[in-house]
């Protein structure tokens, strides 16, 4: 029997689906925990077996050939059915399970979400562990594609893995935080005159609020940049500093540290908060339970600020 007469093994078929969906050898390899040489070697074997180029170079990406598209339409549903069957035969009981779940999210969401999520987690799944990987819409998609995180929560942008699934949890507005002993900053003049704190992972002292102010011929004074929302607890109390932050973060900081929240005279457009996960893990019972816990916890946070946040 010749090499082309033998059927490709399951791993090669999984690689074929990943290559068609990612259209990039390295990205497909990361998704399946394969090195770039191993993924390239798999593509070579697939080409030899099907006697077709399958994926043709088009700029920096790979474009599926008509033959590859035909094969994908046949193979991908079969692999999904197999995954469904395995998932159905592998029940998940959070009360007895022992597993580590990894959530990727922004610093803002980690600060507000972690306390209630951990409480829920410890009550429902005492044998499981929770890990948080902080990132943003630039770094989280690659962690998702490589399987380093089960799900990502936050503003995600458009650069997602080809087979990503997404659910919008809500839309987050903005609030000003200040020390209770200082004067209100609801008027534009007072807002621009006060010294500001800016949360920036890269150390910039300018953000989207500054761009909005410029459209109105205004300018604020950013005198401090910090990389974490938790550092606002050290910066704001007892000072004239103010910070413009997401609603759910403002509420948590105000509750814990006696700060005041108020609507800013200028505010960025509300941003969508979404939960995103890899389609290959869509039906895993443990992952589905975990996503449900994350969604329920985040929905409760947004509902707490319902007057300031619109929930989808």
The widest CA-to-CA distance across the chain, in whole angstroms, is 84
Token pair of 41 as six digits: 């070697």
Which of 13-17, 89-93, 94-98, 163-167 bottoms out in mean pLDDT, i.e. has the lowest? Answer: 89-93
Q: Minimal CA–CA distance to 232: which of 244, 248, 219, 247? A: 244
Per-residue pLDDT tens over the stretch 174-184: 999 999 999 99
Contact (CB, 8 A) for 280 and 156: no
Tell me what pLDDT residue 2 has.
Answer: 44
- Taking 70 as the threshold, does the pLDDT of residue 249 lie above it? yes
Distance, in Å, from the CA atom of 84 to the CA atom of 166, rounded to the nearest integer, reads 19
- Tell me the pLDDT band of 204, cut-offs 50, 70 and 90: confident
241, 182 Cβ separation under 8 angstroms: no
Which residue bears the tokens 């403002």?
A: 250
What pLDDT score was predicted for residue 305?
59
What's the rounded Cα separation, in Å, for the pair 206 and 15?
A: 43
The pLDDT of residue 310 is above 60: no
Question: Tens digits of per-residue pLDDT, 279-299?
Answer: 877 888 899 999 999 999 998
Per-residue pLDDT band for 307 (boundaries 50, 70, 90) equals very low
Closest CA relative to residue 209, chosen from 227, 226, 191, 224: 191
| Total residue length of the chain | 312
Separation CA 228–CA 184 (nearest Å): 24
Using pLDDT thresholds of 50, 70 and 90, give the confidence band for residue 141: confident
């Amino acid at each position: 029997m010749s090499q082309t007469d033998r059927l490709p093994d399951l791993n090669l078929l999984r690689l074929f689906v990943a290559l068609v969906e990612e259209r990039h050898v390295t990205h497909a390899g990361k998704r399946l925990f394969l090195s770039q040489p191993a993924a390239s070697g798999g593509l070579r074997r697939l080409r030899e077996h099907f006697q077709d180029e399958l994926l043709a170079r088009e700029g920096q990406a790979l474009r599926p050939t008509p033959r590859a598209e035909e094969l994908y339409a046949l193979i991908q549903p079969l692999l999904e059915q197999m995954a469904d069957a395995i998932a159905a035969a592998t029940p998940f009981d959070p009360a007895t399970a022992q597993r580590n779940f990894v959530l990727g999210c922004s610093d803002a969401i980690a600060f507000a979400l972690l306390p209630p999520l951990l409480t829920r987690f410890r009550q429902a799944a005492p044998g499981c562990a929770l890990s948080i990987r902080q990132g943003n819409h630039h770094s989280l998609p690659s962690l998702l594609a490589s399987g380093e995180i089960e799900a990502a929560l936050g503003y995600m942008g458009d650069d997602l893995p080809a087979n990503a699934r997404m659910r919008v949890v809500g839309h987050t507005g903005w609030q000003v935080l200040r020390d209770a002993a200082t004067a209100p900053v609801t008027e534009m003049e007072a807002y621009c005159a006060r010294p500001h704190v800016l949360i920036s992972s890269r150390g910039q002292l300018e953000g989207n609020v500054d761009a909005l102010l410029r459209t109105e011929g205004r300018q604020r004074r950013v005198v401090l940049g910090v990389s974490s929302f938790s550092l606002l607890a050290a910066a704001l109390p007892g000072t004239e500093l103010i910070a413009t932050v997401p609603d759910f973060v403002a509420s948590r900081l105000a509750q814990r540290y006696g700060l005041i929240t108020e609507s800013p005279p200028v505010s960025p457009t509300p941003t969508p908060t979404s939960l995103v996960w890899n389609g290959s893990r869509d039906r895993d019972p443990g992952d589905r339970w975990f996503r449900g816990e994350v969604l329920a916890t985040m929905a409760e946070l947004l509902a707490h600020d319902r007057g300031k946040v619109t929930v989808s």
